[in-house]
Amino acid sequence: MARQIREAHLAEKIATNEPAVRARVRCIFCKCDATDSRSVEHIIPESMGNVQHVLPPGVVCDSCNQYFARKVERPILESPMFMHIRSGMEVPNKRGRIPDWQIYQGVHKPDYRQMGRFLCKIGLEALAYRTLNVASSNDEIVDTKELDQVREFARFNVGVDWPFTTRTIHPINAVFIDDEMHYELLNEFDILLTGRLECFAIVSLFGVEFAVNLPTRELDGYRVWLEANQFRSPLYAGKNSS
């Protein structure tokens, strides 16, 4: 089986992991000074196959990092649907263990609100990752009031459900070829800026694409973008073309 590469390589779409040098850094969720934080943040959990795309210490403070692991990521990872997928694809958790899914557990989807919080968490972190090398990007994200609702929903469970789109863009076990190397795509993400001045986080998990609008709960702009781009995923279409 082709398991040489287990995640998407986004070198052409995502900024490098080296952050700009800052005297101070604040958490993008709670806004507290996080200069002394030590833990890196995996944008998509390791248990979904992501070992490469992480945020440096402080972008998400230690307290928020631990909260997300327990209260937001764990319920998704332990949901029957993702347990089934991770077991079938032999995706280990951070301790190297393959999930032990049993047929009696079923394949029920995660709770909609919980999934929305999970995607909003990934989305805001993807935005931070995308702009790591932009001077003052940390302050920009923390101080942008238009992002307060999404950060409060993800971190503090405040507000009504945050809507998201979902569609399959490739089979779970699809094998891709690049320069004679065979690999599977477990996860991908990118940020889509539309002509309507919207900012969507586009996330693919095991071949299913999700989209969330970070500044608002409106999704019409994504539908308009898809129609203008022959319904190609932004993950594969020309960079935010319209």
Helix, coil or strand: residue 23: coil
Alpha-helical segments (H) within the chain: 62-67, 74-77, 80-88, 112-130, 137-143, 148-156, 220-228
Helix, coil or strand: residue 167: strand
End-to-end Cα separation, the chain, in angstroms: 37
Its pTM stands at 0.88
pLDDT truncated to tens, each residue of the chain (242 aa)?
Answer: 222 233 333 333 334 344 444 458 999 999 999 999 999 999 999 999 999 999 999 999 999 999 999 999 999 999 999 999 999 999 998 889 999 999 999 999 999 999 999 999 999 999 999 999 998 999 999 999 999 999 999 999 999 999 999 999 999 988 888 887 888 889 999 999 998 889 999 999 999 999 999 999 999 999 999 999 999 999 998 654 44
CB 192 within 8 A of CB 183: no
pLDDT tens figures, 149-195: 999 999 999 999 999 999 999 999 888 888 878 888 899 999 999 98
Distances in Å between the Cα of 232 and the Cα atoms of 151, 159, 210, 239 are 28, 31, 13, 11
